[in-house]
Amino acid sequence: MSAPLLSSVKLGRYTLPNRIVMAPLTRNRAAAGNVPTALNALHYEQRASAGLLITEATQISPEGLGYPNTPGIHSPEQVAGWKLVTDAVHAKGGKIFLQLWHVGRISHPDLQPDGKLPVAPSAIAPEGEAATYTGMKPFVTPRALELEEIPQIIEQYRIGAKNALEAGFDGVEIHSANGYLLDQFLQDNTNLRTDIYGGSVENRTRLLLEVTEAVVDVWGSDRVGVRISPSGTFNSMYDSNRAAIFGYAVKKLNRFNLAYLHLVAPRVEGFGSAEDQPDLGAEFFRPIYNGTIITAGGYSFETGNQAIASDSADLVAFGRLYIANPDLVERFAANAPLNKPDRNTFYGGDEKGYTDYPTWQG
Ligand code: PHB
Q: What is the pLDDT of residues 17-69, one digit of tens each?
A: 999 999 999 999 999 999 999 999 999 999 999 999 999 999 999 999 999 99
Among 76, 53, 91, 287, which residue's Cα sits nearest to residue 173? 53
Phi, psi of 295 (to 5 degrees): -115, 145
Q: Is the CB–ligand 1 distance for residue 58 below 6 Å?
A: no
Nearest residue (by CA) to ligand 1, atom 5, is 26
Q: Is the CB–ligand 1 distance for residue 60 below 6 Å?
A: no
Taking the alpha carbons at both ends of the chain, their separation in whole angstroms is 20
In Å, how far are 68, 122, 141, 201, 341 from 106, measured between CA atoms? 12, 13, 10, 23, 26
Note if 180 is an active site residue. Answer: yes
Find residue 294's DSSP bridge partners: 262, 315
* Å from CA of 125 to ligand 1 middle: 17
Question: Distance between CA 34 and CA 50 in Å, rounded?
Answer: 25
- Dihedral over alpha carbons 186, 71, 347, 173 (to 10 degrees): 40
Phi, psi of 259 (to 5 degrees): -60, -40
Q: Is the CB–ligand 1 distance for residue 103 below 6 Å?
A: no
> pTM to 2 decimals?
0.98
3-state secondary structure (DSSP) of residue 318? strand
CA 81 from chain centre, in angstroms, equals 19
- Looking at 3.20.20.70, 3.30.1490.190, 3.30.530.20, 3.30.465.10, the CATH number of the domain 4-345 comes to 3.20.20.70
Q: For residue 264, which atom of ligand 1 is closest to its CA?
A: 10
127 CB-contact burial (10 Å; exposed 0-12 / middle 13-18 / buried 19+) = exposed
In Å, how far are 14, 28, 36, 98, 259 from 77, measured between CA atoms? 29, 17, 9, 16, 28
Kindly give the parts of the chain with pLDDT less than 70: 1
Residues 6+ apart with CB under 8 A from 165: 218, 219
* Å from CA of 26 to ligand 1 middle: 6
* Å from CA of 236 to ligand 1 middle: 13
Q: Is the CB–ligand 1 distance for residue 26 below 6 Å?
A: yes
pLDDT at 305: 98
Degrees to nearest 5, angle at CA 105 with 341 and 123: 150
pLDDT at 2: 77
* Å from CA of 39 to ligand 1 middle: 20
* Å from CA of 179 to ligand 1 middle: 9
* Å from CA of 362 to ligand 1 middle: 34
Nearest residue (by CA) to ligand 1, atom 1, is 26
The tens digit of pLDDT for each residue in 228-253 reads 999 999 999 999 999 999 999 999 99
Q: Is the CB–ligand 1 distance for residue 57 below 6 Å?
A: yes
Residue to mutate (ligand 1; options 28, 56, 178, 237; most atoms within 8 A of CB): 178
Which residue out of 44, 67, 180, 357 is catalytically annotated?
A: 180
Q: Is the CB–ligand 1 distance for residue 101 below 6 Å?
A: no
Ranges of H-type helices in 254-294: 282-285
Q: Is the CB–ligand 1 distance for residue 178 below 6 Å?
A: yes
The tens digit of pLDDT for each residue in 286-312 reads 999 999 999 999 999 999 999 999 999
Longest dimension (CA), the chain: 60
Count of positions (residues) in the chain = 362
